[in-house]
Amino acid sequence: MKDKRKIALFVSAIGYGGAEKVVSLLLDELTKYFDVTLILLYDEIKLPIAKNAKVVILSKKGETFKSNAFSSFIDYIKFIFKYQKALKNENIDVAVSFLVKQNILNGIAKMFNPKLKTIISERCFPSIMYSNDRATSFLTKMLIPFFYNKNDKLFSNSIYINNDLVSNYNIKIDTSVIYNPILTENRKPRLKTYPDTEKIFKAVTVGRLIPVKNQKSIIESIGMLPSNFYLDLYGDGELLEELQELSSELEVNQRITFHGNVKNVKAHIVENHCFVLSSLTEGFPNVVLEAMSVGLPVICTNCMSGPLELLNDNEKVTILSGSFVKAKYGLLVNVDDAVGLSQALKFLQNNKEYRDQYSRLSFERAKTYDVSNIGVHVKNLIDSL
């Protein structure tokens, strides 16, 4: 029997972020085809990983992300050499990296070892994600074109991300789109019923509490709605106190619950009536897929990128300010439009037939992205090298 090719999946850590969830799911699937090593910068594993995958951590036991820029920079210099050593020690044939820091390290590794096959994966919309800080914007404009183009291939989770990389970062290597995987169920879970307008209507959102996720807009929309509208908010981050203060200012703090991070998020969100994504920009939102996989009706901002692809087969829509559009698989609202979001929530509350319809369609739509299907696409990409 022919030996399996040795591949590495390279990410900073296995936390609760979207890229980490993708790696966690792909590990199980790719070990069917390859001898897989998971390489991490830091000793942090919060999600399940395949038992038959080897794990190599480039930092000391218990070491995690540094809080200041200088320490992070020193770490990064060390990782340049430690990563190349790990690839050599494990006899890796193909290295697949996720997110900008690891993608740059993959490019450097390729420069030192041209025989190594490297694939990089971008998961966000770079020209937006890296535009807020002038120094970051300047550095990425220099580093991404130089180091990304040293690799063999690139895949992202949206055609818009690839277009952005080609147009704004002069990416010349082969690019493709492979959407995020999800674990789907054979049978749709039973959702909460909503018999009349006097009962509580519960929306849920999941995401890091950072500016780009824009949970502020959801909290503002809850403030515009009657007292029977509630919000469960899962995730943690730098804006926790600010969002809690906003809830108090709008006098909705009794109707909004901040739950922090949880391991099995699907088991929690199924206790709600609909899911809301309020992001200013996305790559391809895992949390929306997770909500759809349990049959939750979904409301999304029509941001770049992901929601239009997921909810309307990438067919463009026109959304009036303060309103929403009924897409094929859910509702779409304009970015940062709290009024439109409140109207979409009210629509789902008042229209059981649409809640039932979108619940059924969401569940069926999610099956397209089951990890067994997406894993084959990643396998084929690796096999092409």
pLDDT-derived band at 193, boundaries 50, 70, 90: low
Predicted confidence at residue 300, as pLDDT, reads 98
Q: Is the pLDDT of residue 91 over 70?
A: yes
pLDDT-derived band at 359, boundaries 50, 70, 90: very high
Residue 176's DSSP bridge partners are: 155
pLDDT-derived band at 129, boundaries 50, 70, 90: confident
Q: What is the pLDDT of residues 268-306, one digit of tens each?
A: 999 899 999 999 988 788 899 999 999 999 999 999 888
Instruction: Read off the pTM.
Output: 0.81
- % of the chain at pLDDT higher than 90: 76
Predicted confidence at residue 138, as pLDDT, reads 86
Q: Torsion angle of alpha carbons 76, 81, 83, 86, nearest 10°?
A: -150
Predicted confidence at residue 196, as pLDDT, reads 52
Of the listed ranges 33-42, 99-108, 129-138, the least confidently predicted one is: 129-138
The full set of domains in the chain, from first to last, is 6-181+371-383 (3.40.50.2000), 201-368 (3.40.50.2000)
**Are the C-beta atoms of residues 147 and 122 closer than 8 Å to each other?**
no
pLDDT-derived band at 134, boundaries 50, 70, 90: confident
Q: Torsion angle of alpha carbons 350, 356, 362, 367, nearest 10°?
A: 170
* C-alpha distance from residue 173 to each of 39, 118, 148, 168, 334 (Å): 24, 11, 8, 14, 33
Question: Beta-carbon neighbour count of residue 260 at 10 Å?
Answer: 11
Q: What is the pLDDT of residues 330-339, one digit of tens each?
A: 999 999 999 9
Average pLDDT value for the chain = 92
User: Buried b / exposed e across 181-209, counting CB within 10 Å, b at 16+?
Assistant: bbbbeeebeebeebeeeeeebbbbbbbbb
Predicted confidence at residue 184, as pLDDT, reads 87
pLDDT average, residue stretch 124-150: 87
Predicted confidence at residue 283, as pLDDT, reads 79
Q: Both tokens of residue 331?
A: 């509702």
pLDDT average, residue stretch 9-14: 96
Q: In whole angstroms, what is the distance from residue 257 CA to residue 254 CA?
A: 8
